[in-house]
Chain A
Amino acid sequence: DTAVSQTPKYLVTQMGNDKSIKCEQNLGHDTMYWYKQDSKKFLKIMFSYNNKELIINETVPNRFSPKSPDKAHLNLHINSLELGDSAVYFCASSQRGLMIRNTEAFFGQGTRLTVV
């Protein structure tokens, strides 16, 4: 059973389109994250949700809108896609936002988004 799963794994789309990436975790965690890894392989946090509530928003354009229908899901919707949005997007989850001692974040396998 995959702990953190993302769909789709690959996404190729044209500029200006709207697309969504889905993430689900079966670890019983209450905190989920979206990270973006650009072409230079730099991993940067975008959002974090705790119990369906947004707690971290790292200066991401408002074309990106995360949605958390429940603790186990955090979807990422992107409007009006631009070439610069091409990247690998990783979803992750953890318990209580990493604030308890022995906890770590688990990452999904990523969604490679290519905007043409």
Chain B
Amino acid sequence: DAKTTQPPSMDCAEGRAANLPCNHSTISGNEYVYWYRQIHSQGPQYIIHGLKNNETNEMASLIITEDRKSSTLILPHATLRDTAVYYCIVRSFQKLVFGTGTRLLVSP
């Protein structure tokens, strides 16, 4: 299973962009990068996923480097409700393998 590395915690001011990095240097060519978040022990919530192109949806943007060895999740205007643990996952053989994630704290 491809392994991901994320900083354990990050802070962000409310209204500012939150940029969450992830390294996945052992990713293989057909493996997707997924981002999920977990708010206070609720079920993980899907945010976005991509293969090699940058992706954007109503929640976030995903920037994947050209060599696919790292990616960045961007929350353009973080709110207090975005405080959560964010997981970067490389999908492996039909399953999502979660790492330890980044605890994002959004402050007023």
| Chain A residues engaging chain B, CB cutoff 8 angstroms | 4, 31, 33, 35, 37, 41-45, 48, 50, 55-56, 88, 90, 92, 97-99, 101, 104-110
B13 to chain A, nearest CB (A): 25
Chain B residue with Cβ nearest A97: B94
Q: State which size class the interface on B falls in.
A: 20 to 34
Minimal beta-carbon separation of A14 from chain B (angstroms) = 24
Q: What is the total of A-B residue contacts with beta carbons within 8 Å? A: 53
Residues of B within 8 A of A90 (CB): 43-44
Q: How far in angstroms is the closest Cβ of chain B from A15?
A: 24
Say which one of B61-69, B74-82, B95-103 lies at the interface with A. Answer: B95-103
Q: Are B85 and A105 within 8 A (Cβ)?
A: no
**In the complex, A110 Cα to B45 Cα: how many Å?**
12
Report which of A42, A43, A98, A101 forms a contact with B94, defined as CB distance below 8 A. Answer: A98
